[in-house]
Structure 1
Amino acid sequence: MVKYLTPGPVQLPQRIIEAYAKQPMFHRGKEFSELYGDVVNQLSRVFRGYTVSILPGTGTFAVDVMIYNFIKPGDEVLVPINGEFGERLAQSVESRGAVVKRIYTEPGESICDHIDELNVKVKAVAMVHNETSMGVANRCISDIAKLIHDNGGVLLIDSVSGVPAEPLNNDADAVATATHKALLAPPGGSIVAFKDAGLITNYPKPPSMDLGNYLKYSARLETPYTPPINVLYALRESLRYILDEVGLEKYVAMHDERIRLLYDELSNIGFKPVPINPNDRSRTVTAFYSPINPAKVTDYLRQNGYVISGGMWRIRERSIRIGVMGDVTLDDLRRVVTLLKALINKN
């Protein structure tokens, strides 16, 4: 048996696995409406001030849906990039036929260090909230939103590995996320939250991606197409845990405690943090430059019961990433530290 300390999908508590393992219900009946309504109401407590749509799909699909609904071909879109998922976001915007202006940072830098470069007049700024590949959180969303709105544009946020462990205010115009990371549920649910349906473009889009369709059906607590029913079972249970049993503030604090332990301990044995500024360290994924071959690190931990991730983007061959979302304890992280100390001593 192994335990997953990855950037997602995350290690699930047994209660959420049990909630998931049910007979899927018919999605045009009263029972489903009750389930759907419950989940949407819970998500509305996470995304305060937003309308929430749940679609079958991945985090990438959620980002694509957001882009295809709020951008149209020919629009000029600014995409600041500080990692792999920023690059993928730019590719999504390009696939829509928009004109993309990229702004790059160095690995480990926050987009917030380049905020002056975002003061341009464009249709939209699309950016990643929590850059999974670098372990960097871009937390200046409110400042960027003011800048963009003052210039007459909209702000679109990829928070697939962020919310709710990386909290967001309601400054952005739309947010894309997914069920299988900090929301503590299985893969299969794409979530798009938006403030103003009037901003949805009338330009044609695939019916399965049209948030207008979801709005119409959501009014009667249904979805236009078959939803990820079992994922919704699990998501209802995970949201009960996050919102009612733990509470959002404590949930964020739990992740803070986990990353502090890893950064404090591993920095002492030669693992250099990728985030340049400690204040920019993601609460959900830690990233380190490895003092030895990263493949040796991941293989050794797997042999001893823990699965972590290799690096991505420009530092793929030099780094490791350890996720702290999911059913992870401080004892798990201490065990990982002990194992890595032993590995470093061998090398």
Structure 2
Amino acid sequence: MKLLTPGPVQIPSEVIKAFGRQPLFHKLQEFKDVFRDVLEKLSKVVPGTPIILPGTGTLAVDTMVYNYVNPGEKVIALTYGEFGDRLIESLESRGAKVFKLSIGIGKVPPPDMVEDLGKRLGDVVAIALVHNETGAGCVNRYLDKLRNIASSLGALLLIDSVSGIPAEPISCDVDVVATASHKAFLAPPGGAILFINTEPRTKYPVPRSMNLSKFLERIKDYETPYTPPINVVYGLSTSLDYILGMGLENYYEIHRVRAEYLYSNLRLTPVAESSCRSYTVTAFYTSSAKEIVDMLRGCGYVIASGVGSIKDISIRIGVMGDVSIEDLKVVTELVNEYVGK
């Protein structure tokens, strides 16, 4: 069975071997050495101080929100799919005054719309967005411009890149990036990862497990305030060697080639507009979503149905992990044959 899912992904065998070992006691120097090595590798992927919490991408996003947004503060939130909506839900649960900016599923609002809204509102504390929208196979490639807009407004730029980095790169300095171990980082689930360039600023209580100030206090000694996801750290050590050894540009290019193969050859309509199609998770409209998912499962390939409002009318095919062009050719032929009946 081969996973072509948005995550968890098909993990390379050497990474499975790395995390399938007896966990060390995390207070031992031997583990601190591994932890330091992983943090140093992560810092080569995205600018900022990396933090690893036990949890998944959802926890990483909630942690970002609760450490950087106070109740009553104005936040502009972009959404172009289900996970943008979930980011808004997290902001609203924190009590933020959220100003939603959307032009439809799979369509990224242009930067000038964000800038105009920010100027009209005034006193905007943050611009929050999903870098790579897992639900719609849609990526926001305006991050450099949005970074400048946020700076001009005196606002933070908060990014959910759970299914983006390091396969969909972030080249500019961002205040906070939230991601996870089990997608393009090629490791098992269980690591909520954040990259921090701005000190936490909340004036309100944060749950102990999500309090970034406590993690930042300990990170200089390569320690954590609570038990870290030890075996995920082992997996990340090996997967990051693979990614960095290949080079980030080459890693991005491999995903681009895989995704473009599907966009060019599947006889289905992509959910995302051509200018913002993701190179990690592809999404396509179809009236036979469940049937295609079931058919491929019977042939040894696992893909995902849609989520949110397009759950029953779309499929998602991930190209992260131990996936080859040959796998994608087989899947493409099977899907095209099915829809051509």
Give the TM-score taking structure 2 as reference length. 0.96
Give the corresponding residue for 2:269: 272
Q: Percent identity?
A: 48
Deviation of 1:117 after TM superposition, in Å, equals: 4.5
Instruction: Please list every run of 5 or more consecutive structure 2 residues that lacks an aligned counterpart in the other structure.
Output: none
Distance across 2 between alignment mates of 1:126 and 1:12? 30
Question: What CA distance in whole angstroms lies between the structure 2 residues aligned with 1:192 and 1:257?
Answer: 28
Matches within 5 A, 1:169-248: 169-197=171-199, 199-244=200-245, 246-248=246-248
**How far 1:213 moved relative to its partner?**
0.5
Aligned equivalent of 1:139: 141
User: What pairs up with 1:28-43 in 2 under 5 angstroms?
Assistant: 28-43=27-42
SS at match of 1:119: helix
Alignment of 1:1-347 (within 5 A): 2-48=1-47, 50-112=48-110, 114-120=113-119, 121=122, 122-197=124-199, 199-244=200-245, 246-266=246-266, 269=267, 271-276=268-273, 278-290=274-286, 292-345=287-340, 347=341
One-letter identity of the residue aligned with 1:157: I
Aligned CA-pair RMSD: 1.3
In 2, the alpha carbon distance for the partners of 1:294 and 1:156 equals: 33
Alpha-carbon distance in structure 2 between the residues aligned to 1:82 and 1:163 = 18
Per-residue deviation, 1:118:
4.2
**1:221 alignment partner AA:** Y
Give the AA of the match of 1:208.
S
Question: Structure 2 CA distance, aligned partners of 1:281 and 1:112?
Answer: 15
Whichever residue aligns with residue 329 of structure 1, its letter is S
Deviation at 1:313, TM superposition (A): 2.6
Is the 2:79–2:100 Cα contact (8 Å) retained in structure 1? Answer: yes
Is this contact kept in 2: 1:118–1:147, CA < 8 A? no
Q: What amino acid maps onto 2:218 in structure 1?
A: Y
Cα deviation code 1:251-274 (max 9, x no counterpart): 0000000011101111xx3x0111
1:186, distance to aligned residue in structure 2 (A): 0.3
Corresponding letter in the other structure for 1:42 = K
Shift of 1:160: 0.3
Supply the AA of the counterpart residue of 1:94.
E
- How far off is 1:116 after superposition? 4.5
* Residue identity matched to 1:287: A
Please list the CA deviations of residues 83-124 of structure 1 after superposition, one character each: whole Å capped at 9, or x if unmatched. Answer: 100110011111112111112221221133744454333111
